[in-house]
Structures are given as C-alpha cells and as structure tokens.
Amino acid sequence: MTSGGPCGGESGGLGPGNYLSERQWVISEQPDSETVQSLIDELRLPEPVCALLAVRGLTPPEKAKHFLRPDLSQLHDPATLADAEIAAERIVGSIDSHQTILVHGDYDVDGISAAALMTRWLASLGGKVVPFVPHRLRDGYDFGAAGLQAARDVGAELIITADCGTAAHRTVEAARAAGIDVIITDHHTVSDSLPNATAVVNPLRPDCTYPNKGLCGTALAYKICELVATAAGKDPKPLVEYLDLVALATVADMVPLCGENRSLVHFGLRRFAHTIVPGIRALLDVTDISSQDITEREIGFVIAPRINSAGRVGETTDALQLLLTDDPSEALLLARKLDQTNQERRAEDQRTFDEALEILERDYDLSREMGVVLANDGWHPGVIGIVATRIVEKIQRPVLIIALDGERGRGSGRSIAGFNLFEALKECSEHLIRFGGHKQAAGMDVTREALPDLREAFNIAANRQFSMDELHSELFVDLEISLASIDLKLIHWLKYLGPHGIGNTSPVFIIREVAFEQTKIVGTNHIKTTLIGNGGTMEAIGFGLADRHSPDNLSHGLYDIAVQLERNEFRGKVSVQARLLEIRVHRKDN
C-alpha cells in the first residue's frame, strides 16, 4: 500500500506534492464465511450486507437485529445526568411562579436548535420564555456580558444556557450577584472547576454517570425538557415532535452517530416529513429537498450550512426566528434570506481559503512543522472554522486560523484523528487571551504580538503528540465487492445501517479491475464516468478528483477504486451511483 506524505521543498514552500492527496488504504479483516452465512440465514439479507455487519462486529444475529432496528425505548434515562433533576425542578418552579426565563443559545446550528427547542417546549408548558442567541462579532462566544444584559433587560429571574456556559464562571457569578439564577446545559469540555450555577448539566462532568458522553447541545436540551415535563406532571411524549431539531443539530455538530445518538437521528429524520416547525418545511422547499427521502447527507451539506451562515456572516437571530416562527410565510422569507446569506458565506470562505494556502506556500515547510498557525487581516471570523477544516483535510495537520482585527485576533482550530486540540491549547495558554472547545475543534482569542510565540508553542505541542513518520492519511475500507453484485436492492438494505457519521461511517468498498468509459469533467473539479468490469456497469461521480486524474489517462487500462454507494435519482430515473473516493492503477500485488 502507498500513501502520500509531506515532502517540503528546499524553498520551504509546499508545492503540489506536499499535500496529502493519496490515502493509505486500511482494509478491514474480512469475516469468515460461517459467520456471514449465519447472518444470511437469520436475517435474510444480501450477502454484502451481512458481510458488512460481520466486519463491524455486529454479530451474533441478535446483536445485528438490535442495531438494524433502533428503538426510542432504548434511550438512556435523563435522570442519570448530574444536576438534571435539580435543573428540572428549578425550571418548573419558574413556570409555576410566572417568572421570566431567558434561554441563551449559541450561534451555530446546535446552539440555535437547542434554544429553539427549549423555548418552544417550555412555552408549551406555560413558561414565559425569552430566547437569546449571541452575535458572533458583537457579542462573542459563550454566555457572556451580552447574554446577561439581555436577561436584565427582560427582567429574567432564571437563565438557562443551551450548548454553552461550562466555561462562563465570571458571567455566572455576575448573574448571581444580580439575583438571577443560572442553569447550565452544555456538552463542551469541562475545565478544572464548574461554574457556581444552580445546576450544571453536562455529560462530560467527571461525576456524571450518564452513559452517552457524546450528546450534542440540542439532544441534551431534549433530555432536560423530558424531565421538566415529568416534574410538571405533563406527558413528555409530544416532545418527539421536535426530534427533527435534534437530528439536525446532532448531524451538524458532528458528534458520534452511534448508540443513542444514532437512534435520535434515525427517528429525527423521519420527523422531517411531518415537521411541526414551519422553518424546517421552508428550508426543505427553498433547497428542493424531499422530506420523504432526506438523509444525514442533505442535513450536513445542504440544510445545516444555511442555518450556520446566519451565525457566520449574517444575523444569528434570523436563524433562531426561522425555527421559532409559526407563520409559514415568515418562515419562507427567512429561509430565502438564509439561502442568500449562505451564498455570501461560500464566497467569503473560498477567498479566505485561497489566501490561507498562499500563506502556507510562503511561510511553511511541512517536512518539519507539525502544527500550523495561519493569521491575516481581513478574514471574517465567521468562516475561519470552515477554512481550518479544509486546510486540515489538505495537509493532515492540526491547524489554527486567526482572523486579525487591530491588535487582537479571533481564532478557530481543527484537529486530526489522535490529536487532542484542547490539550495542545492548554500547553499554549500563556500565549492566548482565552480558549475553549474539545479534542477536535476549538476557539480562541489572541493578541497580534503573541502570534510568533503561539506558532512556536503550537508546533512544539504538535510534535510532542506526533512524529513525521506517524503522519499519514488513512482510508478505512470495509469490503471488497464486484460491480455485478451491486443493485438497487443492495442500496435499499444498506440504508438500514445508517444514519452515518463519526462512529458509524458510511461503508467504503473496493472494486478491482474496472475500466472507465465516457469520463468527463463536470463542475470545477469533478469527474463523471461509467464504470465497467466483472460483468457489471455503474455510473460514478468523483468530487474533487479531476486535478489528480485526467479523463484521458483514465480511458486506458484497469483501475482499483474505493467507493461509497448511493441511490441517485435524475429526471425520474432511479439508479445506483458510486461516489469515487480514491482511484489507483490496478496491479496484481494491490
């Protein structure tokens, strides 16, 4: 097997060869035939599906059945969340006493969805609820001065945070001094101490026995709302009508899609066809997505970016109001506005990405430097997280992107598998004004003059966790499969292994000795082709592969390909389509 690797030139620049473009194929140990046959006999499913279940350890058949049939009755008891029952009782007390409650969200999909869900549910129980989400530039991240002032302005006696607050020690103390109780509901990394709040509900608390440590903020809000209904003597069953918001946030926040989270998304996807939130219906209409066939892919790549765009380059309140309004006409206007905002976000994203690559080319030698810090004036803080993700995908190193404004900068970091970004930033904390986040993503503030020291300290921290020899990108492959065995029936049954994401990735298959026919470039850098081999044919699309594989070259010889399989519908015709991930010239020893 081969893999791309960093090989910086003497100039210190990158050059095309320095990007990690070809991944090492890590092929799963193939299951024995008896295990697969036992699944076939018991489940009556196609052989490739049963082989895939075996590869992923979903044996014996009873375990596979449990996985293939998620059940909401299998969800964990929310009362096992530390402080959750205390929070529920205090919230019910506010509802019964007609106190004003401020629900404080965050400016991403998870924080907006959590604030909308909690506001809608508590209001349905008779609560006097005022929602608030901060503006990224004016107010900054987390529960801060702007949120506290909003609570004072409306005379709130209780603040409930949603998807934030674990690190807001000072603001919580200021709220207490002002006579306002605070309940923290959050899922971000817990530091050495907890805020002195009425309750801190966070599954990552060391003393929290709740089994699922990967809940997103909206799923956590769902759990709290369930307890509030019970404490208020109300039926919590209608809460399932908001599982579409939970699914939206769970996918968008990229938490593990296994166990309880997978069940929540499974049933949440079904709710899209019957949503009671006009804003969800409006987003589906504006993006021309069928609510009957929506998958995690449409949420992650189409719906979520439009909501996120409001928090990145627009007005966060537009996205919050979209999920709160009960007026379909207002919802449609807001959805169209967010669609336009998202187009502006994409343009800003591309400009920043191009400039970041220029700085990499000029200032870095990736044969020696493991941690990358890129900073520039004129970058929008709302897109630096996206850009950091794209740079990480290209160079396979932890990256910090800093948007400078005057003598300060606001940054966003993204990591690679096996690198704990939060711990690395703790090692660099003397060069930061503040920071927060978790293993894979973080935010920070820094002074301009501290940037050289931050760059050096971050590179040292990265080198401490990784060596250059360990640095490579891997593509994990589940099964080898033939073209002839792929049909729409297989695609149908593969759907039952979803929804897919971290912890339950979309299956990757290797198909060997295929020929490419009628290959052409579509869009800016994509390949559209027909695959032929082993008695079968199939259409395929390869996003971002045209700069590595020209149609002329692919028209000669045989290739081994790594693909994901999907159902494609175009002009009323339904077919199987392969999503090309990697292409290699076929060799006997591959």
Tokens 């002074």, residue located:
447
- Residues linked to residue 159 through DSSP beta bridges, in sequence order: 102, 182
Tokens 């004036």, residue located:
377
pTM, to two decimals: 0.88
Q: What is the pLDDT along the chain (590 residues), one digit of tens a residue?
A: 223 322 333 333 344 334 444 678 999 999 999 999 999 999 999 999 999 999 999 999 999 999 999 999 889 999 999 999 999 999 999 999 999 999 999 999 999 999 999 999 999 999 999 999 999 889 988 999 999 999 999 999 999 999 999 999 999 999 999 999 999 999 998 988 999 999 999 999 999 999 999 999 999 999 999 999 999 999 999 999 999 999 999 999 999 999 999 999 999 999 999 999 999 999 999 999 998 889 999 999 999 999 999 999 999 999 999 999 999 999 999 999 999 999 999 999 999 999 999 999 999 988 888 899 999 999 999 999 999 999 998 898 999 999 999 999 999 999 988 889 999 999 999 999 988 878 888 999 999 999 999 999 999 999 888 766 656 678 899 999 999 999 999 999 999 999 999 999 999 999 999 999 999 999 888 999 999 998 889 999 999 899 889 999 999 999 999 999 999 888 888 999 999 999 999 987 66
pLDDT for the residue numbered 292? 87
DSSP string across 377-430: ET--TTTHHHHHHHHHHHH-S-EEEEEEETTEEEEEEE--TT--HHHHHHHTGG
Q: Within a 10 A sphere around the Cβ of 354, how many other Cβ atoms?
A: 10
pLDDT for the residue numbered 524? 84
Question: CA-based Rg of the chain, rounded to a whole angstrom?
Answer: 25
SS3 180: coil
Q: Within a 10 A sphere around the Cβ of 355, how many other Cβ atoms?
A: 15
Element (H, E) at 197: none
How far is C-alpha 267 from the geometric centre of its chain's CA atoms?
Answer: 18
pLDDT for the residue numbered 470? 59
Cβ atoms of 562 and 508 within 8 Å: the answer is: yes
The backbone torsions φ and ψ at residue 537, rounded to the nearest 5 degrees and listed phi first, read -135, 155
Q: Do β-strands 24-27 and 474-477 pair in parallel, antiparallel, or remain unpaired?
A: parallel
Report the distance separating Cα 425 and Cα 414, nearest Å: 11
Token digits for 54?
């075996």
Q: Where are the alpha helices (DSSP H) in 19-130?
A: 33-43, 47-55, 61-68, 84-96, 109-124
Cis peptide before 238 (omega within 30 of 0): no
Cβ atoms of 222 and 242 within 8 Å: the answer is: yes
Q: How far is CA 417 from CA 12, 112, 392, 531, 589, in A?
A: 26, 27, 11, 32, 29
Report the distance separating Cα 397 and Cα 14, nearest Å: 14
Report the distance separating Cα 549 and Cα 526, nearest Å: 10
Cβ atoms of 550 and 460 within 8 Å: the answer is: no
Report the distance separating Cα 131 and Cα 419, nearest Å: 36
146: left (phi over 0), alpha (psi -120 to 50) or beta: alpha
Alpha-carbon torsion angle 522, 310, 181, 167, nearest 10: 50
Report the percent of the chain where pLDDT is more than 90: 83
Q: Do β-strands 399-405 and 372-377 pair in parallel, antiparallel, or remain unpaired?
A: parallel
Q: Is 475 exposed, middle or buried (0-12, 13-18, 19+ CB in 10 A)?
A: middle
SS3 373: strand
The structural domains of the chain, ordered by start, are 24-55+475-585 (2.40.50.460), 78-339 (3.90.1640.30), 364-470 (3.10.310.30)
Alpha-carbon torsion angle 459, 462, 467, 473, nearest 10: -110
SS3 228: helix
Report the distance separating Cα 396 and Cα 23, nearest Å: 11
Report the distance separating Cα 25 and Cα 380, nearest Å: 37
Cβ atoms of 315 and 112 within 8 Å: the answer is: no
- End-to-end distance of the chain based on CA atoms, in angstroms? 7
Tokens 């010239």, residue located:
585
Q: Is 467 exposed, middle or buried (0-12, 13-18, 19+ CB in 10 A)?
A: exposed
SS3 115: helix
The backbone torsions φ and ψ at residue 41, rounded to the nearest 5 degrees and listed phi first, read -65, -40
| Digit-coded pLDDT (tens) for 419-457 | 899 999 999 999 999 888 788 889 999 999 999 999 999
How far is C-alpha 324 from the geometric centre of its chain's CA atoms?
Answer: 23
